[in-house]
């Protein structure tokens, strides 16, 4: 087991490096040149008594200074990448990259990217965790029930709903919910994390936040209900048709034991990666939901960063996304082992 994890980790690091290098190359194509803009800005701030030629030399000087500071004084992409990682020294001989804890500086927010991303992750996780628990709480019992009573009226009705829900892009569900809950019923506010200007503390504040977060939560839950429900039902049906289930029934086990202990355990195997992926996906945020509700989570942060070409922030968030993706793959592979003893042995 330990050897397997080590192998996976090494492989993960390899993929991570390849991916980040590719992404890094991609971002190098972005037209943002920070050294150039900063040099221009500083030149504009100087007293404007210089002649054109003097200005030009001064600019060159400043440009070089900023290039050296930002480590862009070379065109070698590999060196740039290593500098970004913190494995290759800057002009002043010091390494200053990710390994040194310097993740970059967000120009849009005028702050360190870590301090920008922190609250966004918190917001996304708050809402994501609640909705993920709701989703699993609804889909697992419902999926099992549908699979057990396959072909019944209840199952067919649920099937119709899940088919429609599965085919509906999430933003249409959100529009419907906004119209219904905000415009027609007026139960929930449309956007924001709390009432503007509210200074309430303690329980009152918590209730206020809950009131604002409720609708995005409901929307997020309903948005992913259908697809998970379908998968749960399908894998449960597969599990119920296994020979071991027939054997278990033949042994005279209680139906409950057959379903929840024998069948469900088998059904879990294909579901594990989806559940684990769902939980890790929380950190990535829900881009469409956050855009529609103006909810300050990871998705909206990333979207705005892309719109404003906030280079360091995009890069950092992309690293987070990639890392989460790879890590959740690893965790779900390990979970396979937990769920399915055969996998454990074959390792």
Partner 1 sequence: MKDKKENLFHKLGRWFTRMFMGPKYEEKMYQKSKAAEDGEKKPDDSELIVSPARQVLQRFLERKFAVISVAVVLIMFCVVFIGPSFMPKYYDSYTETTQKDLPPTMAFMRVPAELQGDIKMIDNYGSFTVGLSNSGKVYVWGITKIGATGLDVKHIPEEVQNAKIEWVSAGIDHIIAIDENGKFYGWGSNQFGQYAVTEKILSNPNLEPVPAEVLDGVDPDHIQEVTSGYQASAILMDDGTLYIWGNKQAYSNIESFIGRTDIEDVDFTLNYVVGLTDDRNGIYCGVRGLYNVARASIGDKGVKMFEFLDGRKIESLTSTTKSVCCLLDDGSIALVGDFPVDTIQVPKLAEGEYFTDIKGGAYHYTACTNLGHVYSWGGDHFYQAEAPTQKISGVTKVYTGSFQSYAVDENNQLLDKWGLKGYLFGTDDAGADIASRVVAGGRVTMTVGAIAVIIEILIGVTIGLISGYAGGAVDIVLMRVAEVFYSIPLYPFMLILSSLLAQVSMTQDQRLLMIMVILGVLGWPGFAYITRAQILVARESEYVTAAQAMGVKEGRIAFKHILPNIISVILVNIVLSFAASMQTETSLSFLGFGVMYPQPSWGNMLSRASNATAAINFWWQWLFTSFILVFTAVCINTIGDTIRDVMDPKSSNDK
Q: Which residues bind partner 1 (CB under 8 A)?
A: 15, 18-19, 23, 26-27, 29-31, 150-151, 163-164, 166-172, 174-175, 178-179, 182-184, 190, 241, 284, 287-288, 291-292, 302-303, 306-307, 309, 314, 317-318, 321-322, 324-326, 329
Single out the residue of 319, 340, 331, 329 nearest to residue 27, CA to CA: 319
Which residues, in sequence order, are CB contacts of 27 under 8 Å at separation 6+? 311, 314, 315
Rounded to the nearest whole angstrom, what is the least distance from the CB of residue 65 to partner 1 in the complex?
Answer: 27
- Print burial letters for 311-338: b (CB count within 10 Å at least 16), e (below 16): bbbbbbbbbbbebbbbbbbebbbbbbbe
The residue (of 129 and 306) whose beta carbon lies closer to partner 1 is 306
Nearer to partner 1, 55 or 291 (CB): 291
Q: Smallest distance from the beta carbon of 321 to partner 1, in angstroms?
A: 4
Taking the CA atoms of residue 173, residue 179, residue 180 and residue 183 in that order, the dihedral angle to the nearest 10 degrees is 160
Query: Which CB, 66 or 280, lies closer to partner 1?
Result: 280
Q: How far is the CB of 230 from partner 1 (least distance, A)?
A: 9
Query: Least distance in Å: CB of 166 to partner 1?
Result: 6
State which residue, 96 or 195, has the beta carbon closest to partner 1: 195
Closer CB to partner 1, 28 or 102, in the complex: 28
- The packing angle between helices 170-177 and 202-240, to 10°, is 140
> Nearer Cβ to partner 1, position 3 or 307?
307
Q: How far is the CB of 312 from partner 1 (least distance, A)?
A: 13
Phi-psi region of 166 (alpha: psi -120 to 50; beta: other; left: phi over 0): alpha
What is the enclosing helix (H) or strand (E) of 111? strand 111-112
Closer to partner 1 by Cβ: residue 62 or 298: 298
Q: 276: closest CA among 338, 344, 347, 214?
A: 338
Continuous H helices in the chain = 2-28, 34-45, 52-70, 77-85, 113-148, 153-167, 170-177, 202-240, 243-250, 255-257, 264-284, 287-293, 298-307, 311-339, 341-346
Shortest distance, position 79 Cβ to partner 1, whole Å? 22
CB of 64 to partner 1, least distance (A): 26
């Amino acid at each position: 087991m330990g050897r397997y994890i080590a192998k996976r980790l090494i492989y993960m690091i390899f993929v991570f490096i390849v991916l980040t290098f590719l992404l890094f190359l991609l971002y190098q194509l972005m037209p943002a040149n920070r050294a150039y803009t900063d040099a221009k800005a500083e030149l504009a701030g100087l007293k404007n008594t210089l002649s054109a030629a003097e200005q030009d030399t001064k600019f060159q000087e400043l440009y070089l200074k900023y290039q050296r500071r930002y480590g862009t004084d070379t065109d070698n992409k590999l060196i740039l990448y290593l500098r970004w990682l913190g494995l290759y020294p800057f002009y002043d001989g010091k390494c200053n990259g990710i390994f040194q804890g310097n993740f970059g500086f967000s120009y849009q927010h005028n702050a360190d990217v870590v301090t920008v991303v922190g609250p966004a992750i918190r917001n996304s996780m708050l809402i994501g965790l609640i909705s993920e628990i709701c989703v699993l709480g609804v889909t697992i019992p419902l999926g099992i029930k549908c699979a057990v009573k396959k072909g019944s009226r209840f199952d067919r009705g649920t099937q119709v709903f899940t088919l429609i829900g599965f085919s509906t892009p999430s933003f249409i569900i959100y529009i419907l919910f906004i119209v219904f809950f905000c415009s027609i019923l007026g139960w929930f506010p449309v956007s924001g994390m709390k009432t503007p200007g509210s200074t309430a503390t303690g329980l009152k504040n918590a209730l206020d936040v809950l009131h604002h977060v409720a609708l995005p939560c409901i929307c997020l839950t309903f948005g992913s209900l259908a697809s998970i429900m379908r998968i749960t039902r399908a894998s449960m049906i597969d599990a119920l048709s296994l020979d071991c289930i027939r054997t278990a029934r033949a042994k005279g086990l209680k139906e409950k034991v057959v379903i929840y202990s024998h069948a469900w355990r088998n059904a879990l195997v294909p579901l594990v990666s989806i559940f684990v992926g769902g939980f890790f996906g929380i950190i990535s945020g829900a881009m469409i939901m956050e855009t529609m509700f103006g909810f300050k989570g990871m998705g909206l942060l990333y979207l705005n960063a892309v719109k404003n070409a906030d280079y360091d922030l995009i890069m950092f968030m992309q690293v987070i996304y990639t890392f989460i993706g790879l890590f959740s793959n690893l965790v779900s592979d390990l979970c396979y082992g937990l769920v399915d003893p055969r996998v454990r042995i074959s390792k």
